[in-house]
Amino acid sequence: MNELKIKDLTCYRGDNLVLKDLNTKLKSGDSLVIRGSNGSGKTTLLRVLSNFIKLYNGKILFNDHNVLEDANYRNCFNFVGQKNCLKDNLSVKNNLKLWEIIYQKNISYSKLLEDFNISHLMERDVASLSDGQKKCISLLRLNFTESKIWYLDEPFVFLDEANSQILIQKIKNFNTNNGIVIITSNINLQNTFTNEIKI
């Protein structure tokens, strides 16, 4: 059983107070949707949780260890931000090869692409794909690590109805396998994920 606790989290970006006294607790199998308007600090929160931003007040504890001091924490989560991490001038296959090297995990590309039914895009250049197709490929990074937490920054942007349903199913499967998911969104996902906070 894993547990992620956020205690009195306050974060400034420059002189702006972005996050103020945020408290929450998530256990294995939980999902949390963070809603807020543009510029409200959703992405900042995910970057704080992912240990990219280290200057903040309060504590983030994963299994009672402060994430700033826990060297293993970086292997426990997967952060998928708004940038796609794709090289436009390369084919989808070559991009997957680069991820394979970074994540040091061998994976069957065709099986991977079947997740979003996009096997036919394997040899295509990324530059020729639509934003939605790029987003689907970007989300495939979730399959490259055996993480316990997923931080997903606006994952539904550009996805059509069918692919949104596939992603929702992936998140639910991850929850069933004791994963914790934190999603930022400025659209209402309350029908799908009940646990929601507004910032």
Partner 1 sequence: MFALLKRDLYLALYSSSSFFYTSSFFILILIILPFLFGTNDVQLQVLFKGIIWIGLSLSILLTMERIFNADYEDGNLDVIIQRYPSLETIIISKYITHWVVYCLPLFIILPILSFLFYVSLDNFFLIFLNLFFGSLGMVFIVTFVSALTLGAKRTIFLKAIIVIPLFIPFLIFGTNLGSWPILLALSMMSFVLSMYVSAYGLRLYVE
Residues making contact with partner 1 (CB under 8 A):
50-55, 71, 74, 79, 81-90, 94, 97-99, 101-104, 141
Instruction: Output 1 or 71, the one with its CB closest to partner 1.
Output: 71
Instruction: Output 89 or 110, the one with its CB closest to partner 1.
Output: 89
Least distance (Å) from partner 1 to the CB of residue 102?
A: 5
Least distance (Å) from partner 1 to the CB of residue 196?
A: 25
CA–CA distance from 159 to each of 116, 139, 168 (Å)?
11, 11, 11
Please, what sign has the CA dihedral across residues 17, 31, 174, 114?
negative
For strand 196-198 and strand 77-80, is the pairing parallel, antiparallel, or unpaired?
unpaired
Instruction: Output 104 or 191, the one with its CB closest to partner 1.
Output: 104
Structure-block tokens of residue 147: 């993480």
3-state class (DSSP) for residue 130: coil
Least distance (Å) from partner 1 to the CB of residue 20?
A: 19
Where b means 16+ CB within 10 Å and e means fewer, 99-126 reads beeeeeeeeebeebbebbebeebeeeeb
Least distance (Å) from partner 1 to the CB of residue 194?
A: 29
Instruction: Output 27 or 74, the one with its CB closest to partner 1.
Output: 74
